[in-house]
Amino acid sequence: MYLNKIGDVPIVAHRNLPTDAEVKGVVVKREPIGNWYASLQLETPNDPPEKPDELTKTVGIDVGILNYASDTDGTAVGSLNVSDERERLERAQRDLSRKEHGSNNWEEQRKTVARRHADLKRKRRDFLHKLSNYYASEYDLVAVEDLDVKRLVELPGNSRNRAGAAWSTVLRMLEYKCEREGTYFVAVEPAGTTKECAACGIKTDKPLWVREHSCPSCGFTADRDWNAAWNILSRGIKQLGAGRSETTPAETALPTGTDSVPAKRVVETGSPDLKERAAPAASE
């Protein structure tokens, strides 16, 4: 790669450039571990696919801590386990604190700490990229909550897990990947999605430790995350406007069971999809 005022620089390419792409710029940066990276800014003539007129495959996604994502198709994706990476990072940080600041040993241990940070970041982003790519490519409409993540992280208690969940990152990934794939992306008002009954609309207060939604009005019961996902999808379809799907999931069928997918499966296969899904049961 040729850089002005520097000349030819040998590189290891991550992947080949598209034949019809025009390089508009390059950003060169040095990571804390000492490696140099060049990010190319490309412009391609390809326009994103047109969004469909009819919504045949729609999904609402409720994000959380116990289950990272619960959707209206009856799939619950478990949270990513990074306990091993965190343990190695903490051990490396303790070793760094024992070194004399500025010494050669300190510098080598600093690089080790930086590598542990990079391992943790890459594992989490790999999981988020694969999960968001699956939803963007498999559905015509993806509905999510428009979360104020900064305010949620500042709430007392469990802030470390809320920050580690990186909800704002996965929502940004979903938005640009849906645009790339020609999929509708709708972020809806999050208030009341857990309290509201997806079958009849009655709101019922429930503390966080109550994991089942049970409507005192219509008698509908379901996992609270699945109920919230259906409310998110219903709001998304309504927010998208007239001329789209006239039937909301709450008017047809609601899931009473789900398939649980470990986060490890998403990382290994690049998709949370299962061979068999639990068929949604009628709300009756």
Residues serving a catalytic function are 62, 145, 225
Angle (deg, nearest 10), helices 167-181 and 104-138? 50
Report residue 275 as tokens.
């061979």
Report residue 120 as tokens.
């943790």
> Alpha-carbon dihedral of residues 176, 180, 184, 186, nearest 10 degrees?
0
Please give the radius of gyration of the chain, using alpha carbons only, rounded to the nearest integer.
23
* C-alpha–C-alpha distance, residues 266 and 177, integer Å: 17
3-state DSSP call for residue 144?
strand
Instruction: Give Cα 141 to chain centroid, integer Å.
Output: 15
The DSSP letter of residue 4 is: T
* C-alpha–C-alpha distance, residues 146 and 239, integer Å: 13
The terminus-to-terminus CA distance of the chain in angstroms comes to 64
Encoded amino acid at 17, one letter: L
* C-alpha–C-alpha distance, residues 15 and 40, integer Å: 11
